[in-house]
Chains A and B, each alone.
Chain A
């Protein structure tokens, strides 16, 4: 496996050591051959991670051609058995290796579709970073995100009519990769985030919609930090307007806090886009969210927050994880069961309702017999 992946010798050796250890370990002594193969794959994965070789589980899955749940299970077992703590793989590191799988260079494709892999990588990485800032990456499988980023990057590098008309499926066909279903959703999410930024481009006159945003992607990516700042400001202003219109009572209180938030925002140390300062400011700035009160909601901790919490609080922020924006409705708790002591009387009638009458029981038995016979 290591040969196929073309990894360093050390990784190969490390994975062999782990495999030997795991093989002898009691939890893996009497497992099936398939599980042992999966175990080998997991050892390679762990060794790559420990030695900073970017690789995803999906790659291992492809190599050993196994069920993802089984691989996951074996991986977790192995980690706890051998007490390894593997660092997490950064998605941006993985992009480059993944892009090499996509056969989109001019060797493989005609001019209109071909793309230089370096440009593609650069653009895709920027898109993934943007996605990460917009909460699209956290908690999701990385490979569909990469696929969505590569697809959009490919479209945006030369936004001809033909490319724009190519669907994800067709793209995967020409690049000779397997399509991942979640990638379609990720594309929509990334496009949405791009639109939010695209709206702030000063020189674009028409409305930026998911359909035409691809043409502006290059511009958006180039100036994304500035656009992000602008979008934040616009959003805050919009919220402020909304609150002024909505809440008369707590008007002064809220505008005060909003003003204070703006003041805070303007001081250099607490720019709302702290981590996105385009020019390096020497040592990395603290990226802690506490000095970024760019969501007005955070200032209203306590009673106000309580009241507003029923409104989807994800909608009050410019960027939020999609699961918060489109929150599912929860089933309402039955109120009758609040004050149960556990020792109440149980009524006979209730219990009788759970027991069949003799006639019912006979019918049931008869039906069962009939089923068994047929």
Chain B
């Protein structure tokens, strides 16, 4: 039986050398630091953290000088993708990512992540004027925003449930009033402490408007409601990378087809969780600001592009 060939789809890219080489040209192989750092396999994490430090310093210098380019260099070697290859430590590799280059934020490279090779060094553009060949051209759509606000007064949930049309309250099941408005189409959980959670909006502004409307409803019901500490807690985006993926490969993440059909990938920087599905659709969650979602998608897109497979 042709075991080698036939097993290949399951092992994703089991070929050691050439797996990603053909795709190399599509990523500009630039480390724009002039740092003299050449990609090389990392032998131990100590030397890597020194490299990281050097990189970071160089980068901060370069920031002011050059136009930002969005460059991702992914050195794709075998160990990134074949679980079964010898020489890997058996750990699924951690994808090393982005250094956010916005204003003064320093690029905190996670010094302790076990890395197998050159760090991925994308630089997010300050102005989104990226060459088409280097950015994905796909913008993730925001699907859900969760925000909280403090109405600043104690509330009597029974009264609210009685006098509001759009409220439901079942204290035995959940200790909050569930209120809904039509526009923007959102749902709010209102607690007796005066705190409120607003979900379902498609943008930050919509979430804020919706929260204000709920506060106004509560006000009209006779409570001295204010609008304190409005904060976006979570943003969920989705996108389509338009490739198909055999998900046997592990990007330092979890893929358990028996539990969930998607691959759960936890990006370190930005701290976003991505759910990647075989159809190429990607769900990104855990962001506090919109830019994190975009950044995460731009980080993952070239890697996913490299994984694209066709029958």
Contacts of B8 in A (CB 8 A): 275, 284, 287
Are B19 and A351 interface neighbours, CB within 8 A? no
Q: Annotate A104-115 by CB proximity to B: 1 below 8 A, 0 otherwise.
A: 000000000000
How far is it, in angstroms, between the C-alpha of A138 and the C-alpha of B91 when the chains are bound? 21
Contacts of B163 in A (CB 8 A): 355-356, 361
Minimum Cβ distance to chain B for residue A82 (Å): 14
A346 interface residue, CB < 8 Å from B?
yes
Point out the residue from B10, B259, B278, B280 that lies within 8 Å of A75, measured CB to CB.
B259
Are A142 and B257 interface neighbours, CB within 8 A? yes
Contacts of B256 in A (CB 8 A): 57, 72, 75, 88
A323 interface residue, CB < 8 Å from B?
yes
Are B217 and A351 interface neighbours, CB within 8 A? yes
Q: Across the interface, name the chain A residue whose C-beta is closest to B21.
A: A286
Minimum Cβ distance to chain B for residue A224 (Å): 9
Q: Annotate A245-285 by CB proximity to B: 1 below 8 A, 0 otherwise.
A: 00000000000000000000000000011011110100111
B309 interface residue, CB < 8 Å from A?
yes
Contacts of B65 in A (CB 8 A): none
How far is it, in angstroms, between the C-alpha of A268 and the C-alpha of B160 when the chains are bound? 73
Contacts of A192 in B (CB 8 A): none
Stretch binding the partner chain, chosen from A31-39, A147-155, A313-321: A313-321
Per the 8 Å Cβ criterion, residues 240-260 of B in contact with A are 242-248, 250, 254-259
How far is it, in angstroms, between the C-alpha of A184 and the C-alpha of B14 when the chains are bound? 31
How far is it, in angstroms, between the C-alpha of A284 and the C-alpha of B12 when the chains are bound? 12
Point out the residue from A285, A340, A341 that lies within 8 Å of B184, measured CB to CB.
A340
Contacts of A280 in B (CB 8 A): 2, 4-5
Are A295 and B306 interface neighbours, CB within 8 A? no
Are A355 and B165 interface neighbours, CB within 8 A? yes
Q: Annotate A38-74 by CB proximity to B: 1 below 8 A, 0 otherwise.
A: 0000000000001000001110000000000000100
How far is it, in angstroms, between the C-alpha of A137 and the C-alpha of B181 when the chains are bound? 42
Q: A72-B259, A346-B216, A354-B217 are in contact. Are A139 and B247 (CB under 8 A)?
A: yes
Minimum Cβ distance to chain B for residue A97 (Å): 15
Are B308 and A289 interface neighbours, CB within 8 A? yes
Contacts of A72 in B (CB 8 A): 256, 258-259
B92 interface residue, CB < 8 Å from A?
yes
Minimum Cβ distance to chain B for residue A335 (Å): 12
How far is it, in angstroms, between the C-alpha of A343 and the C-alpha of B10 when the chains are bound? 52
Are B132 and A302 interface neighbours, CB within 8 A? yes
Point out the residue from A129, A228, A291, A321 that lies within 8 Å of B278, measured CB to CB.
A321
Point out the residue from A58, A134, A313 that lies within 8 Å of B258, measured CB to CB.
A58
Q: A139-B257, A141-B258, A324-B244 are in contact. Are A346 and B213 (CB under 8 A)?
A: yes
A201 interface residue, CB < 8 Å from B?
no
A26 interface residue, CB < 8 Å from B?
no
Q: A132-B10, A287-B19, A354-B164 are in contact. Are A313 and B307 (CB under 8 A)?
A: no
Are A286 and B15 interface neighbours, CB within 8 A? yes
Q: Annotate B126-170 by CB proximity to A: 1 below 8 A, 0 otherwise.
A: 000000100001000000000000000000000000111110000
A352 interface residue, CB < 8 Å from B?
yes
A211 interface residue, CB < 8 Å from B?
no
Q: Annotate A149-179 by CB proximity to B: 1 below 8 A, 0 otherwise.
A: 0000000000000000000000000000000
Minimum Cβ distance to chain B for residue A334 (Å): 8
How far is it, in angstroms, between the C-alpha of A122 and the C-alpha of B83 when the chains are bound? 24
Are B245 and A284 interface neighbours, CB within 8 A? no
Contacts of A350 in B (CB 8 A): 183, 213
Q: A284-B8, A354-B217 are in contact. Are A290 and B23 (CB under 8 A)?
A: yes
A342 interface residue, CB < 8 Å from B?
yes
Are A92 and B10 interface neighbours, CB within 8 A? yes
B311 interface residue, CB < 8 Å from A?
yes
Minimum Cβ distance to chain B for residue A189 (Å): 13
Per the 8 Å Cβ criterion, residues 88-119 of B in contact with A are 90-92
Are B244 and A288 interface neighbours, CB within 8 A? no
A120 interface residue, CB < 8 Å from B?
no
Are B23 and A129 interface neighbours, CB within 8 A? no
Q: Across the interface, name the chain B residue whose C-beta is closest to A71.
A: B259
Are A133 and B166 interface neighbours, CB within 8 A? no
Per the 8 Å Cβ criterion, residues 57-88 of B in contact with A are 83-84
Q: A141-B258, A287-B8, A337-B202 are in contact. Are A87 and B310 (CB under 8 A)?
A: no
Q: A280-B4, A289-B308, A290-B23 are in contact. Are A88 and B248 (CB under 8 A)?
A: yes
Instruction: Give the residue among A76, A284, A294, A319 with the most B Cβ atoms within 10 A.
Output: A284
Q: A289-B310, A337-B184, A346-B216 are in contact. Are A275 and B203 (CB under 8 A)?
A: no
Are B19 and A323 interface neighbours, CB within 8 A? no
A304 interface residue, CB < 8 Å from B?
no
How far is it, in angstroms, between the C-alpha of A333 and the C-alpha of B200 when the chains are bound? 13
Stretch binding the partner chain, chosen from B28-36, B189-197, B204-212, B286-294: B204-212
Minimum Cβ distance to chain A for residue B95 (Å): 14
Q: Across the interface, name the chain A residue whose C-beta is closest to B245.
A: A138
A292 interface residue, CB < 8 Å from B?
yes
Minimum Cβ distance to chain A for residue B303 (Å): 12
Minimum Cβ distance to chain B for residue A196 (Å): 10
Contacts of A292 in B (CB 8 A): 309-310
How far is it, in angstroms, between the C-alpha of A286 and the C-alpha of B19 when the chains are bound? 5
Contacts of B22 in A (CB 8 A): 286, 288, 290-291
Contacts of A309 in B (CB 8 A): 242
Q: A323-B279, A333-B202, A361-B163 are in contact. Are A91 and B10 (CB under 8 A)?
A: yes
Across chains A and B, which 10 residue pairs bring their CB atoms closest together, nearest first?
A286-B18, A342-B208, A139-B261, A342-B205, A319-B311, A289-B309, A289-B308, A139-B278, A138-B278, A72-B259
Known: A288-B21, A290-B26, A309-B242. 15 other contacts (CB 8 A): A57-B259, A72-B258, A87-B83, A88-B83, A92-B10, A126-B6, A133-B9, A138-B245, A138-B246, A292-B310, A318-B311, A350-B183, A354-B166, A355-B220, A355-B221
